[in-house]
Amino acid sequence: MRKIFMKEIYEKLVSLSDEGYKKFHSALIPDIPPERIIGVRVPLLRSMAKEISVTPEAEAFLSELPHEYYEENNLHAFLLERIKNYDLLIAKLERFLPYIDNWATCDGLRPKALGRYPHKTAEKALGWMKSDHTYTVRYGIGTLMNFFLGEYYAPEYPEAVVAVKSNEYYINMMRAWYFATALIGHYDDIVKILETGRLDTFTHNKTISKARESYRITPEKKEHLKTLRK
């Protein structure tokens, strides 16, 4: 029964495929071989997740790891987003994280339930950032960016991102994205990090580039950031 259902999932994905979108998306995710990308647009995947989530087979699909196709991973992510029970979500999320193999799946996974228990989620995010797996680290940093730059912000969070040391492109790009976003609401804290040169050159300069592209940072602050380039 499980194999039949997995085949039905695959056939449904193929029926929704768009060859032009596949080519476009393949260029955005060079780490995924084109033959592993079917070419299904995100809104269609989300609709499919909504449809599957109310069936007994959803649990079977979530247990089928690793998945073969990029869209299957995204479908998995969108099913996780629909889980409302926090502890169940964390258990299934932590089982899935080691199988994430690209930035798009990583960044597209934003379960609202994570925001309901900020203290627990912050602790989890800090733990994920200590992983040896690139996209688990990226997900931890992204979680701090998505849920902890507002009401639940604390200076210890950017310090934790500073402490992440890596040569991985997709980790350092997320670090830069985090700091650039944090500059919007916590400029004084973040600019001190830049002024004292605490980041590697790549992350430092990418942070400044991204911040200078933001319409939410004043021209005066952008000019100061420009002077801080390494």
Q: What local confidence, expressed as pLDDT, does residue 110 receive?
A: 96
Confidence (pLDDT) at 198: 98
Rounded to whole angstroms, the Cα distance separating 44 from 50 reads: 10
Question: Taking 70 as the threshold, does the pLDDT of residue 85 lie above it?
Answer: yes
Per-residue pLDDT, 14:
94
Give me the pLDDT at residue 55, please.
87
d(CA 110, CA 112): 6
Kindly state the average pLDDT of the residues 95-101. 98
pLDDT of residue 190: 98
Within 10 A of 13 (CB to CB), how many other CB atoms are there?
A: 21
Residue 213 has which token pair?
């592209």
What is residue 2's predicted lDDT score, i.e. its pLDDT?
59
Q: What pLDDT sits at residue 5? A: 72
Q: What is the pLDDT of residue 4?
A: 66
pLDDT digits (tens, 9 = 90+) for 194-214: 999 999 999 999 999 999 999
Report DSSP state, residue 83. -
What are the start-end ranges of the H helices in the chain?
2-15, 19-28, 42-53, 57-63, 70-81, 86-96, 103-108, 118-128, 134-147, 156-163, 169-185, 187-195, 201-212, 219-227
173 and 179 Cβ atoms separated by less than 8 Å? no
Would you say residue 139 has pLDDT above 60?
yes
Closest CA to 177 of 88, 108, 107: 107
Compute the average pLDDT of residues 156-172: 98
Do residues 138 and 170 touch, judged by C-beta distance below 8 A? yes
The C-alpha atoms of residue 212 and residue 74 are separated, in whole angstroms, by 31
pTM of the model: 0.95
- The residue type at 77: A
Q: What is the mean pLDDT of residues 94-98?
A: 98
Closest CA to 176 of 123, 164, 147: 164
Q: What is the pLDDT of residue 3?
A: 67
**How many angstroms separate the Cα of 74 from the Cα of each of 71, 106, 146, 161, 192?**
5, 9, 19, 26, 37
* 12-27 pLDDT per residue, tens: 999 999 999 999 999 9
Average pLDDT over residues 100-111: 97
Please state, rounded to an integer, the average pLDDT across all residues of the chain: 96
Q: Is residue 204 within 8 Å of residue 227, measured between CB atoms? A: no
pLDDT over 60 at 1, yes or no: no
Calpha distance 181→168 (Å, rounded): 20
Residue type, 93: L
